[in-house]
Structure 1
């Protein structure tokens, strides 16, 4: 690396002016994949925007559960916006170079919103657990205020966790490789390119999957064990009704965690190109599917859509008179 394309912070640390994101470069027929990503992003924006609009305008949905659903839609929308347009610009329009500062910014937002998606699914499982295990005390335990406070705390935790990771990347020296073998400025590929001691970043690299994947998924499993025990104590007719309130959340959990689980499990045994495609699909598909699942599988939301339709038709009829 020549001094012309490197910025020396001090005599020990050197940061390149640019990184080269190589992830999808060289994979055949990727133009079709970019068209697919454009479709995914459009559906994601429309779907999550619609979810947020419905929750904001319909007072019947101003409940703790839908505060969390609104937060999930916001995280999905922002996370897709941080990732997909940059991904399309990088590979479709051959803008593979990204400045050091822009790379760290991209890492912060993509990973930060991914954290929030995982945290929010965990918070939804907590809501369902309290509703089924303590139905008489639900309104006392889970309030709008308490859910807003918990949501704010999770945003702070996620932001601080990613900020620490970015700060340690900023202390690394990149004196040799500047090619990021991923589809965005991912923490793992970036920290492995460092030519100075990257021990703190290595610790963060292994702790982040625990924070974003293993710990939330274990909490969700624990809440559903509690739910299953509570369901065994009630009548069969009520059991089916209670289980139906969990179906949308269970589908959301499967859509988010199972692709990531397979991506992590198959990461070392499949071809590098297949791994990158697999990981990118694992991060862009759940935000698109979540609003579709909630619109179709949640009775309260379906009723809200029907009320909106009736109000719209009444309004149109009155204007025609």
Structure 2
């Protein structure tokens, strides 16, 4: 793990990588990136442009955030800053992720540049009604962690009592403290409820799981997002079936060069970005090298409709993992 001495001399912004350790610089320099800037897409409800690749904070990020030394995450955020990525998706339920990330971006002077997306969900066991007082308190705690007067996106997490919690988020938006209102789920058994909310509630964002091996949201949810002008954060772009493990030992298909993908991460991320409903993708990582590789998924050409069909055919033909 990178220790804090690796960050002596760091400052936020372009060029800060000059202060990184030789070991980390060598790792970053080994990443092959396409030429050009990180692509951006518009939030439909406002027209604001945001970068298409961001950072999630579950999984490996959350594991490192809980560790005694979470300083490796500083290099991840610094890599984001240096390459123009600024969308960060977190939640109070991701262990120490929100708190540690808040500490880092404020220490590095990056907080004002981030597009900070967090979540709230105080529903009791069994999916009971949310306590409005507890919901407001949870949002206030996120403000205390982020240390900024405005949070860009507040999302109701995993369809947690939207009848109670969405109006509370709108209160914060009306007061000018939250810029965008959203709702999320990565559970297929909640998709029907999400569709109902999308049809009947004013939303700026949804967050859903979407990958080359996990395309169920293409049927109704993503077309409805386009119709309703709702931005989409794509979660779990590396799949529900361990896509990296399934392609272990496989050569990247030759056609990947046609859309500037030189790694499996770029290959899978560029597939996710082929759908016009997707505004940004937020894969989680705790390593700066992987963050840089992910950013490469949002640079250069994207797959065409023909490439998209090739990717789906390739993924569908992969053998399943043993025992699955």
Structure number with the bigger relative contact order (C-alpha 8 A, sep ≥ 6) is 1
Larger Cα-atom Rg: 1
| TM-score (norm: length of structure 1) | 0.28
| TM-score (norm: length of structure 2) | 0.28
